[in-house]
Structure formats: structure tokens, C-alpha cells
Structure 1
Amino acid sequence: MGATSHNDAAPARRQRQQRRWATQIVVIHELALRTCTERGLAPPDDILPMHLLTIPETDIAGLGSIVAAALAHSPAARALLADLEREQHIPETAVRDYYDRNRDRFLTPEALRRGVDPYDDPAPADIQPYEDVRTGIAQELRHAAARRAFFDWLDQARADVVYAEGHEHPGDPTHQDHEHRH
């Protein structure tokens, strides 16, 4: 037959990328299993059995598709993330600072219904009191800090991982058909 057409290469490229993507999910799961064991965390299968879960688009956008999929499918990765979240201490000053800098996020429902512009110096009555939103802010900041800790852990944990050819990260620029999308 003749030379391979450009269109014939696309399925092979897609399969290589899928293999690389799936490899990353398995590697994250295995690294998380090891770390859970080191930390004395409950056996991951007892936390939540591995099964197909829907991955919210916001997680894909915020975490990247590989980490989002690993967290969705790996009980060990979720257990580790939860443990990292418990370790995060958010100082009261950070919570208060977040509230003060993001007043637009704390308009009352009534102010929203009236169409109050959060950037046009809303009245104090149009902003939810700090005491009412403090716990939610602290949890949001703790969650964000845990995700950063998870990424730090992952960078360190896979630093020594050696991938077989064809199983590298799909965004690794050292292979010719790398892709890096979020």
C-alpha cells in the first residue's frame, strides 16, 4: 500500500496519549496507596470503593484532568487529600483578610435580588456579617491549601518515577506528540 496518510496517524497518536494519560492515573493511585500506608491511614478500599465517578468540570479546570480523574477514581488519593486537608491550619487573620478583600462574594440574598453592585461601596447591611460566613471561608481556604499540599506531595512523590517509553506524561515535551491541555 503506499505511505501512511496524515489521518491514519491521528488514531495512533490519540491511543498513545490515552495510554500516557491512563498511566498517570495509575501512578498517582499507586503513589497515594504507598503514602497512605506510610501515614497509617485507613485502607483506602474501606474509605470509598473504587468505582466510576463523574468528574465536575470545575475540578478538571482547577486541578487538571489527570489529577481530577485520579481523585475521582482513587480512594487512596482521596484519603490522602482528606488527610492533607485536616493538617491545614488557616490563621484567623487569613480568614478575615479574605473576607475583607472579597466583600463582593458576601452580598446578602436581598442585596443580590435588588441588584446591588458589590464594587460600588455597598451598605453594611448588604454584606453578610463576618461571623455568618467565617466557617465557610476557613473551610474554603483549608480546601485550597490542601490542594496545594497535594500538588506538592505529587511533585515530590513522582520525582523518582521512571516511565517506560510510551507511558510518559501526555504533556511531557520530550516526546514528539505531547499535548498539554486543561
Structure 2
Amino acid sequence: MTPEHAALIDGEPLPTARVNAFLEAPAGHHEHAPARRQPEAPSLARQRRRWATQVIVTDELARRACADRGLKVPEEASPLSVLAVAETDVADLGSIVAAALAHSPAARTLLAALEAEQTVPETAVRDYYDLNRDRFLTPEALRQGVDPFGETTAPEDLLPYDTARDGIARELRRAAGRRAFFGWLDRARSTVVYSHGHEHPGDPSHPDHEHRH
């Protein structure tokens, strides 16, 4: 028998119906869920439900965090849809977090707020430029096969620091924002109590567990 709630968040039930609605959204929305086959093996179906629960829990936690912070969450015409998730995002974030960010306006709003809060020291930007010179070769230097770390590299082979600086700072701020989001999510999920059949897909206490993020 399916429980009426998928989880308890601060003692408040998260309805199973929200997970069911997400699972029943049109095919193609959940591109990075555990693969769906016809017919679907029971273990895979259980893992799909656990995966979907994590996406919905993340959405609910983000809604609450945005409300606590006074952040306005934009309305979406189709709140169940998952936008296209880039493979690089799946690699960097894991399938659950990438899908949650694609699915949840609240999660995206919170991530943007956390990113905006990050301060990137000038020394960190400069260090990144100095340690990753291969990323700042000019097109001409790339064509010539210049070794960015070689002793013969000329200043004109590299984009000037002042030219590269703003892009580096944005990249480091984005990375710091993602780390802050992961930290927030780990803390927020630590008190969630899951109903049977809705545990985290990587929870070793159930027999179908696998280490997916």
C-alpha cells in the first residue's frame, strides 16, 4: 500500500501525490532519471520513485528556504516539467541535483542568491589565471602549438589578465555558489524522514540502493 506522504519535512507531510505527478509527467522530461524500459523491472521502478522523491524534496526545501530569505520565486506555466538538463551539469552536479534545478524555480532562485553572496578574492582570481595559462592562450598561440607553461612563452601569447579577469571571477563565483548550494542541501535534507519506498536511491539500508546523485 502506497503511503499518503513520501516524506516528513519538519514534521509536515510531503504528499505522495506530488511525487506521483512528477513521475507521470510526459515522457522526455526526466531524461536523467534511472532509465525507463518496457516492461520496467520492479527494482528499477522503486529506484525511479526514490530518485523522483529526492527531486521533489529538494524543490520543497528550496521553496521553504526562499520563503525564509524573502526571495520571490517566479511562477512557471508547467511546474512539473523538467527543462533540458545539460550532460555537463549532470557530470558536475549529479542527476538528482541537476534535475531538481531544472524542475524547480525555487531551487534556481536559491542557487542564484547563494552565488550572489559569494566573494571571490582578487588573489584567487590571479592564482587561477597563473595556474591555468593553457586556458588563456590567444588563438594565434593555439594555432602555433605554443606551450603555455614553457620558458619561451611570450606575454603576447596569452590573453592579458585584465581581459580574462571578469570571466574568471564569474566562474569562481559560480563554483562557490554551487558548493554553497550543496552544503545547504546536505544540511536541509539531514532532518527529512522518508516513508518506506521513498528513501534516497543511495541509502544502503534498502536492497536496491545505488550510489547516484
| Separation of aligned partners in 2, 1:52 and 1:34 | 20
Gapped regions of structure 1 (runs ≥ 5): 1-9
Aligned to 2:197: 166
Structure 1 residue 176 displacement after superposition: 1.1
Aligned to 1:34: 64
Question: Aligned pair 1:54/2:84, yes or no?
Answer: yes
Structure 1 residue 83 displacement after superposition: 0.2
Q: Which amino acid aligns with 1:140?
A: E
Q: Tell me, yes or no, if the aligned pair for 1:25 and 1:70 is still in contact at 8 Å.
A: yes
Structure 1 residue 38 displacement after superposition: 0.3
SS in 2 for 1:45: coil
Instruction: Give the number of equivalent residue pairs.
Output: 173
Instruction: Pick the aligned partner of 1:84 from 103, 107, 114.
Output: 114
Instruction: Pick the aligned partner of 2:136 from 106, 118, 132.
Output: 106
Per-residue CA distance 1:99-150 (angstroms, 9 max, x = gap): 1111111101111122222233422211110000000000000000000000
Q: Tell me, yes or no, if the aligned pair for 1:49 and 1:75 is still in contact at 8 Å.
A: no
Aligned to 1:44: 74
Moved more, 37-46 or 11-20: 37-46
Aligned to 2:183: 152
Gapped regions of structure 2 (runs ≥ 5): 1-39
Judging by fraction of residues, say which structure has more strand. 2
Aligned to 1:131: 162
Per-residue CA distance 1:14-62 (angstroms, 9 max, x = gap): 000000000000000000000000000013327x864331100110011
Per-residue CA distance 1:144-176 (angstroms, 9 max, x = gap): 000000000001111100000110111111111
Q: Tell me, yes or no, if the aligned pair for 2:82 and 2:99 is still in contact at 8 Å.
A: no
Q: Tell me, yes or no, if the aligned pair for 2:201 and 2:212 is still in contact at 8 Å.
A: no
Aligned to 1:176: 207
| Separation of aligned partners in 1, 2:61 and 2:209 | 23
**Percent identity of paired positions between Structure 1 and Structure 2:** 66
Runs of 4+ displaced beyond 6 Å: none
Structure 1 residue 181 displacement after superposition: 3.7
TM-score (norm: length of structure 1):
0.90
Instruction: Pick the aligned partner of 1:18 from 48, 53, 72.
Output: 48
Q: Tell me, yes or no, if the aligned pair for 2:53 and 2:198 is still in contact at 8 Å.
A: yes
| Separation of aligned partners in 1, 2:212 and 2:107 | 22
Judging by fraction of residues, say which structure has more helix. 1
Q: Could you say if the C-alpha distance between residues 29 and 165 of structure 1 is closer, same or farther in structure 2, counting changes exceeding 3 Å?
A: same
Instruction: Pick the aligned partner of 2:127 from 97, 118, 128.
Output: 97
Q: CA RMSD in A?
A: 1.8
| Separation of aligned partners in 2, 1:133 and 1:123 | 17
Instruction: Pick the aligned partner of 2:150 from 95, 108, 120.
Output: 120
TM-score (norm: length of structure 2):
0.77
